[in-house]
Amino acid sequence: METVLSTDKLTKHFGKLCAVNQLDLEVKRGQVFGMLGPNGSGKTTTLGMLMGVVNPSAGSFSWFGEPATHHTRKKIGAVLEHPIFYPYLSGQKNLELNALIKGADPANIAKVLEIVELTARKDDKYQTYSLGMKQRLAIASALVSDPIILILDEPTNGLDPMGIAEIREIIKRIAADGKTIILASHLLDEVQKVCTHFAVLKRGNLMHIGPVDDVGKGEEIVEVQAYHDDLSILLQEFVGSASIKKENGLFEVMMKEGYHAKDLNRFLFDKGIVASHLHTRQKSLEKQFLEILADHKV
């Protein structure tokens, strides 16, 4: 698959602070690439370098296999951190300005306003918008040039649950068009739902990069509940259990390779116990994320 973005030892120092440290990333066409990391781990700084607003201290990056120029950026729709617009201009006028800079067809404006459901308020000044409306306008401005790549930095910040779900749908729809998306977010659930690949940063260092599909592989966790006093002792006797944890009144049994919920169920039944709750869970991205961050001490 064609490489859309690759970075080579990309580094940024702010004085003594190393915000991004020798980052090597590769994003291929059609990927929905999640960038994860705690606050201050360097996500926005990385995206800022990729979009030409932060000068790298060292290293390089290329879009579409070529060194980036400002022309490359016209093909990318990006919102970094906060929505940025002229407060005294209306939403419509702001988008016209974005389109003018990007060399986009002004006819797209009505379309993108429709997508983010701002058509009714398009002639109001930006400064009168609510936070969620500002976020929506930012997404509209990223879409206005019909970009091949979309870069979103916490795009659902400040949106209501409906808004979050809508943005997720928008992202999925855009991804289905074969567009490449880079998404920095703290909502791991979101990332797991929409992303195909993800990277984890910690204090500017790349801790992990890989497909999201791999997250659930290998290990299986089964939640069990039953009315029995010594359930935890019994569960330990089960040959398929690797470890047992009690959480929220449920037992979580980490299964050994090759064992599944039905084996556990049969085991309990043979002991004369009927489970009142039995649920197989795949490992969540959240769990893996926390593990990745805990594993490496940087």
Partner 1 sequence: MLHLLKIDLKKMTNYRTFWVICGLYFLTLGFTTASGMEILKWLASKGAEFGASININRVPLYHFPDIWQNLIWISGLFKIVLAVMVVISITNEYQYRTLRQNVIDGMSRWEFLQSKILTNVLLSLVSVTMILVIALFTGFIYTPEIEWNYFFVGSEFFIAYFIEVFSFLSFALMLGVLIKRSGLTIVMLMLASMIEAIIKINIFRSGVEDQIGWLKQFFPLESITNLVPLPFARYALQEIQDYVALSAVAIAIGWTVLFNYFAYLKLKKSDI
Residues 200-239 that bind partner 1 (CB under 8 A): none
CA distance 27 to 34: 10
Task: For residue 253, count CB atoms less than 10 angstroms from its CB and return exposed for 0-12, middle for 13-18, buried for 19 or more.
Answer: buried
Residues 35-64 that bind Mg ion (CB under 5 A): 44
Min CB(44)–ligand ATP separation in Å: 3
Min CB(78)–partner 1 separation in Å: 5
Nearest to 76 by CA among 157, 5, 176, 2: 5
Out of 34, 35, 102, 109, which residue is the one contacting partner 1 (CB under 8 A)?
A: 102
Q: Which is nearer to ligand ATP, 50 or 215 (CB)?
A: 50
Out of 1, 2, 16, 39, which residue is the one contacting ligand ATP (CB under 6 A)?
A: 39
Residue 78 contact partner, candidates Mg ion, ligand ATP, partner 1, none, CB within 5 to 8 A by sort of partner: partner 1
Tell me the β-bridge partners of 201.
206
Say if residues 246 and 239 touch (Cβ distance below 8 Å). no
Stretch that binds partner 1, among 101-109, 199-207, 261-269, 278-286 (CB under 8 A): 101-109
3-state secondary structure of 231: helix
Q: For CA atoms 74, 78, 80, 86, give the dihedral sign.
A: positive
Please, what is the end-to-end C-alpha distance for the chain in angstroms?
Answer: 33
Min CB(84)–partner 1 separation in Å: 4
Say if residues 157 and 187 touch (Cβ distance below 8 Å). no
Q: Which is nearer to partner 1, 50 or 275 (CB)?
A: 50
3-state secondary structure of 243: strand
Nearest to 283 by CA among 212, 224, 195, 225: 212
Q: Which two tokens stand for residue 102?
A: 């990007």
Q: Which is nearer to partner 1, 153 or 220 (CB)?
A: 153
Judged by CB under 8 A, does residue 134 bind partner 1? no
Q: Which is nearer to partner 1, 78 or 194 (CB)?
A: 78
Give the x/- contact pattern for partner 1 in 6-25, rule: CB under 8 A: --------------------
DSSP string over 180-194: EEEEE-S-HHHHHHH
CA distance 263 to 266: 5
Residue 88 contact partner, candidates partner 1, Mg ion, ligand ATP, none, CB within 5 to 8 A by sort of partner: partner 1
Stretch that binds partner 1, among 22-30, 99-107, 169-177, 209-217 (CB under 8 A): 99-107
Min CB(35)–Mg ion separation in Å: 9
Out of 7, 31, 36, 37, which residue is the one contacting ligand ATP (CB under 6 A)?
A: 37
What is Dmax (Cα atoms) for the chain? 73
List contacts with Mg ion (CB under 5 A): 44
List contacts with ligand ATP (CB under 6 A): 14, 17, 19, 37, 39-45
